[in-house]
Amino acid sequence: MPGRPPKPALVHPRDLPKRGLGSDEGRAAFIHAIAHIEFNAIDLAWDAVYRFRDMPDAYYADWVGVANDEARHFVMLRERLRQFGHDYGDFDAHNGLWEMAEKTAHDGLARMALVPRVLEARGLDVTPGMIVKLRALGDDATVEILEVILREEVAHVAAGSHWFRWFCARDGVDPEPRFRELLAQYARSVLRSPFNVDARSAAGFSAEELAALRQLAD
């Protein structure tokens, strides 16, 4: 397990209160939720570096670079949260990202398929809509941070796509059917449509993989 601060308290996702973006408290809770995702993403990237041995140098370079980006994202969000009079740990959070890391700790192929390409790729789907809502509220400072994160997360998911296919090639596995199998085995409950087809295509998803996502989500 990675080191964790004493807060935030980790609860089941259904126990997290629903807050709108119309109030400062609601926006602070939203920023906290994104900061928590980025905090976990730092751990996930370093875990990918540490856990899977005897990989090409480029693999480690990619995931160290991702860890650096995620840390920068977290710092930007934490500073924005402090501008609302809060700090990381002030709101409860959930542990879904790390739970998937534990489920895939035995298999680098599954890790690359499911953490960057399912959980982190969820940000590609939902962030554009959040940007629209926050811009309508005049919260340009938060919008600027989310635009940076969205742009850089495409490259992070693309790294997952690249190394997923690398593992498949090494193991003599057809990537499209294997991705569908892993989705059905591990990720059916976390898939939500609609999907950001343009961003996911840029991040290395094939047409068959996008069709599999839609089918399982529906």
Tens-digit pLDDT profile for residues 75-120: 999 999 999 999 999 999 988 788 888 999 999 999 999 999 999 9
46 is a domain residue: yes
Q: Which long-range contacts (CB under 8 A, 24 or more apart) does 160-163 make?
A: 160/112, 160/113, 160/115, 160/116, 160/117, 160/120, 160/121, 160/203, 160/204, 161/112, 161/116, 161/117, 161/203, 161/204, 161/205, 162/62, 162/204, 163/59, 163/62, 163/108, 163/112
13 has pLDDT over 90? no
128 has pLDDT over 90? yes
11 is a domain residue: no
Mean pLDDT value of segment 26-49 = 96
Quote the number of domains for the chain.
Answer: 1
16 is a domain residue: no
Beta bridge partners of 10: 93
The single-letter code of the amino acid at 131 is I
Structure-token pair, residue 23: 């109030």
137 is a domain residue: yes
* Mean pLDDT of the residues in the chain: 94
81 is a domain residue: yes
5 is a domain residue: no
Owner of token pair 């994104």: 34
7 is a domain residue: no
**What is the domain range of residue 36?**
22-217
Mean pLDDT value of segment 143-167 = 98
Structure-token pair, residue 115: 């953490």
201 is a domain residue: yes
17 has pLDDT over 90? no
Report pLDDT for 173. Answer: 97
Q: Which long-range contacts (CB under 8 A, 24 or more apart) does 169-176 make?
A: 171/109, 173/109, 175/206, 176/206, 176/208, 176/209, 176/212
CATH of residue 107's domain is 1.20.1260
Q: Whole-model pTM?
A: 0.94
